[in-house]
Structure 1
Amino acid sequence: MNKIIKHSFEAVSLLTAENGLLSVTIIPAVGQPDWVIPSTLILDLVEYDEYIWTYVWQQQDIAIFHLQPRDITPTSLVILEGNTDVHRFGLQFKGALKSLQVRISDVKDVPLPAEYMPVIEENSEAETAADAILTSDILINTTSYSSFDAKFSESNILSYLFECVEIEGEVYLIPDLDKIAHHLVDLDS
């Protein structure tokens, strides 16, 4: 089995020389907090209004992750850098990107707002939100996964949530980009 090479990005390595600011891009999402990612990871922004699963970018098939449900027409996709060129992927969304320069001290860790947590039905055997994800029927075949961390789905925020943060009074989701990339590459293999 090949060893997974992780990003060596750290918050300090993403700081610019201009007064210790971090350049981030806000990507709009539907049904979850908008995403915040380091701007340096964006390779390209493409206007594309069809819901797609792959996109050919610079002669390479790029897997697509969706930030809106299928019944909402997307407007754009961004191509993100990965650990390797094989691990590049796209995010398809509706709306416009927003760029910010923020100080790390202005970024506050916050929990995922309650309105985005999975609903646990009364007759469910699940006792927690994590249990609800483990017992839910999600869009991909998860029978071979044995741990919560390995489960993954576009429809379950907790399966790719790295952390939520608050910037200028707004809550944003920081996604686990490595997990998404590796999942999309595994699906494509």
Structure 2
Amino acid sequence: MNQVRKHTFEAVSLLTADNGMLDVTLVPAINQPDWIIPSSLILSVDNYDDRIWTYLWQQQEVMVFHLLPCDQTPDKLIVLEGNTTVHRLALQTAGELRELKVRISDVKDAELPERYVDVAISNIDYNKAKDDGFNIYKQISSEDEGENNRQDIVEEHFRENVVLSYLFQTVVIDDIPYIVPDLDKISHQLVDLDS
């Protein structure tokens, strides 16, 4: 008889279920919906009012992702667990965190509201002007279903101020939009960019 192997858990789940309920924390964000993350991933919330790119947390350097524009003053860092200690992540933001217990059935997939799409597109245009030859953008083609027209679309690989990518999913709870980030992919992007 074969020995049963215990599964090794490789990815940190964004939404964990306990009897159909989610314990989440709402993290304030500027120019995008607030982020919703599992409360169990939060290792610490530290007061910090300087904008930084790495944070020394318990003698470990943690990459920082900003949820507010450069001209806004942050007031806290939220350190999140990652798949490995290297892939821990800190979110820098301003405002109060809110904890919420929500039913899984109350979380609905949604499209990013138009006002945030407009901000993201203007951020893409701003970022393109500041690209300076780093080739952050790539051209991709798509066909319009109705007319079979080819359109060239510019896709941004990874920028903090643009939530129009595979790294972010919009959900609605009680008619309020939130962003569910793919924290694992974001942390891997940040670590890759740093190395």
What's the TM-score, normalizing by structure 2? Answer: 0.77
2:38 corresponds in structure 1 to: 38
Using the TM superposition, give the Cα deviation of residue 87 of structure 1 relative to its aligned residue in structure 2, in angstroms: 0.4
Question: How do residues 140-151 of structure 1 correspond to structure 2 at under 5 angstroms?
Answer: 142-143=134-135, 151=157
Residue 137 of structure 1 aligns to which amino acid in structure 2? K
Give the whole-Å Cα distance in 2 for the aligned partners of 1:75 and 1:160. 28
What's the TM-score, normalizing by structure 1? Answer: 0.79
Using the TM superposition, give the Cα deviation of residue 36 of structure 1 relative to its aligned residue in structure 2, in angstroms: 0.4
Give the whole-Å Cα distance in 1 for the aligned partners of 2:79 and 2:69. 19
**Cα pair 1:80 1:88 within 8 Å, conserved:** yes
1:137 corresponds in structure 2 to: 128
**Cα pair 2:87 2:187 within 8 Å, conserved:** yes
Change (3 A) 1:10 1:97: closer
Question: How do residues 109-148 of structure 1 correspond to structure 2 at under 5 angstroms?
Answer: 109-118=109-118, 137=128, 142-143=134-135
Query: Which is helix-richer, 1 or 2?
Result: 1
**Cα pair 2:75 2:94 within 8 Å, conserved:** yes
Unaligned 5+ residue runs, structure 1?
Answer: 121-128
Percent identical residues: 50
Using the TM superposition, give the Cα deviation of residue 134 of structure 1 relative to its aligned residue in structure 2, in angstroms: 9.6
Q: Which of the numbers 163, 168, 176 marks the counterpart of 2:182?
A: 176
**Cα pair 1:160 1:179 within 8 Å, conserved:** no
Higher alpha-carbon deviation: 78-87 or 141-150: 141-150
Using the TM superposition, give the Cα deviation of residue 167 of structure 1 relative to its aligned residue in structure 2, in angstroms: 0.9
1:74 corresponds in structure 2 to: 74
Q: Which of the numbers 14, 17, 21 marks the counterpart of 1:15?
A: 17
Using the TM superposition, give the Cα deviation of residue 95 of structure 1 relative to its aligned residue in structure 2, in angstroms: 0.2
Mapped pair 1:164 → 2:143: no
Query: Which is strand-richer, 1 or 2?
Result: 2
Unaligned 5+ residue runs, structure 2?
Answer: 1-8, 141-153
Post-superposition CA distance 1:9-67 (Å, at most 9, x none): 274xx122xx4211011000000000001111111110111111111001001110000
Change (3 A) 1:67 1:139: farther
Change (3 A) 1:134 1:70: closer
Using the TM superposition, give the Cα deviation of residue 145 of structure 1 relative to its aligned residue in structure 2, in angstroms: 6.8
Tell which structure's C-alpha radius of gyration is larger. 2
